[in-house]
Amino acid sequence: MDIKTRTLLLLSSMLLIVNYVETMVIPALPTIESDFSISATLAGWVTSAYMIVAAATSPLMGKLADTYGKKKMYVIAIGFYIVAVSLAGFSPNIWFLLGARAIQGVGFSIFPIAIAIITDLFPREKVAFAQAILSAILGIGPALGLLVGSYVVEDLGWPYAFHTAAILSIIVFAASVAYLPHTGHRVKEKVDYGGATLIGLATVMVLVYITEGPTLGWLAINNLALLISGLVLYGVFIAYEQRVKEPLLRLDLFKIRNFAVANIVGLVSGIGMFMVFIFMVYYSQLPRPYGLGLSIIESGLLMSPVAFGMVIFGPLFGRLMPKIGPKPVLISGSIISALSYFMLLVNRATPVDLLEAGFVSSIGLVAVILPLVNMVALSLPDEYRTTGMGMNTMLRTLGGSAGPVAATVLMDSYQDPVIMMYNNQPLVLGYLPSATAFDYIAILGIFIMIVTLIVSLWTKNYTFKANKTAATT
């Protein structure tokens, strides 16, 4: 086995485990909510805590990888991940689980580092296909998370999904230490820990504001204080990055058109990408007539086309993109993603309806992710590639962390009472998300993907043929 194939196999294996665990958490959310007797909004933070830390640490880990070596930081990131999943499996309460999930977010930085390693190893005309293989893993991982994970959650309990991931991560960790090559150029610079702290705190404050909106009130003074503080910190972060000698985020890189487009699209589309998972999981498991009344396993089986579509279309787009460029793929992905939300809005009465929408969503998902990754990797100098990938991952995960929160906030805001007749009198047993809540989630998804489409039109297209680059605008 040559070094390129072996490296691709190693990187794919770890991404498979990471995405298995991340997607396994989604069908487990209703169970976690029940086990810890918490609200759907707080349960949504099981996903958001991971995403927030991933957003804050990805550019930092990218900077460290460019400074100290990609292999070294990749192995360290796996180490964080092993610690996190090991702790998560033994969570005695929701706060311990959220803490473990936050540490797990540091491990997510393996994705931008893996993309940078692949870009270093493969020739430019074959980079898109290699990246597509890693993107396809984003589909296979969810397939395991939704199918195998659903059985584990229902039969053994959600902690066992973390236990199995910890064991598998240790195996991949050992193989990575032994066989992963050193690649790329190192740039000796100081690490901007101040910038990482500022953007992390700002993100937490804004997301807490969104999460607590329905409970505390959107205009409540204490809640508005969180929003204002978060926005001020974002402003301080931007000003700080412009003044510091060696910033966490090289803001001048945004002068590169494709890098700027990829980051804006990543931020906006990230919200819509994760909302569709929350929509399908909760709607499929809610009792009729509020949802489809499916079990955890049935819900996992129903969502498997999402993963299946990514496995099929990821490599297809990877082979197509060097010939037609990223712009047509990105535009198509935006339109297809908007279509999937429209399908959920107008037709979700049966499991088959949800299955069809999920499959269409998977095509749009991979058609958006792959061009973004390729545009960032190929538009930046080698010595800043991992830092740039970290920036893009940060913005995509910022959007992704807001997606579940936005969906669960709408589900908490628009609810219908569950009524049972007792002695000829109506008795309210509780409240469940209404059809209006899911309608608004779908409408928000359509709007987000239309914005994604508009920004995508600014992409500078390029193609590769026989080791020669032909750029078109």
Structural contact between residues 315 and 369, judged by C-beta atoms closer than 8 angstroms: no
| Other CB atoms within 10 Å distance of the CB of residue 451 | 18
66: its two tokens: 């460019």
| Other CB atoms within 10 Å distance of the CB of residue 369 | 25
pLDDT for 252 beyond 50: yes
Q: Report which of residues 37 and 23 the model is more confident about.
A: 37
3-state DSSP assignment of residue 82: helix
Structural contact between residues 21 and 165, judged by C-beta atoms closer than 8 angstroms: yes
**pLDDT for the residue 134:** 79
Structural contact between residues 89 and 101, judged by C-beta atoms closer than 8 angstroms: no
Across 65-74, 359-368, 403-412, 431-440, least confident range: 403-412
Structural contact between residues 57 and 407, judged by C-beta atoms closer than 8 angstroms: no
233 falls within a domain: no
Name the residue range of residue 136's domain: 3-191+248-471
455 falls within a domain: yes
397: its two tokens: 């995960």
Domain count across the chain: 1
140: its two tokens: 């296979």
222 falls within a domain: no
352 falls within a domain: yes
Q: 3-state DSSP: the chain helix, strand, coil percent, rounded to 5? A: 80, 5, 15
Highest mean pLDDT pick, 247-251, 310-314, 323-327: 323-327
Structural contact between residues 458 and 473, judged by C-beta atoms closer than 8 angstroms: no
374: its two tokens: 């390729």
66 falls within a domain: yes
208 falls within a domain: no
The predicted-structure confidence for 215-237, as pLDDT tens digits, reads as follows 677 788 988 999 899 999 989 99
DSSP strands (E only) in 145-209: none
Q: Please, which residues have CB within 8 angstroms of residue 316's CB and are 6 or more apart in sequence?
A: 132
Structural contact between residues 77 and 11, judged by C-beta atoms closer than 8 angstroms: no
Q: Between 221-243 and 193-216, two packed helices, what is the crossing angle to 10 degrees?
A: 160
Compute the distance between CA of residue 46 and CA of residue 93 in angstroms, rounded to an integer: 12
Highest mean pLDDT pick, 63-67, 262-266, 269-273, 383-387: 262-266
35 falls within a domain: yes
Listed residue (417, 70, 1, 473) closest to 261, CA to CA? 473
199 falls within a domain: no
**pLDDT for the residue 469:** 44
As a whole number, mean pLDDT of residues 311-329 equals 87
The predicted-structure confidence for 80-100, as pLDDT tens digits, reads as follows 999 999 999 898 989 999 999
Structural contact between residues 394 and 58, judged by C-beta atoms closer than 8 angstroms: yes
Partners of 111 in beta bridges: none
pLDDT confidence bin for 329, thresholds 50/70/90: very high
Compute the distance between CA of residue 190 and CA of residue 87 in angstroms, rounded to an integer: 32
pLDDT confidence bin for 400, thresholds 50/70/90: confident
Is the full-model pTM beyond 0.85?
A: no
Compute the distance between CA of residue 348 and CA of residue 367 in angstroms, rounded to an integer: 24
3-state DSSP assignment of residue 423: coil
Please work out, in degrees rounded to the nearest 5, the angle formed at the alpha carbon of residue 274 by the alpha carbons of 393 and 373.
Answer: 30
pLDDT for 420 beyond 90: no
pLDDT for 203 beyond 90: no
Listed residue (421, 405, 402) closest to 413, CA to CA? 405
Q: What is the CATH number of the domain that holds 18?
A: 1.20.1250.20
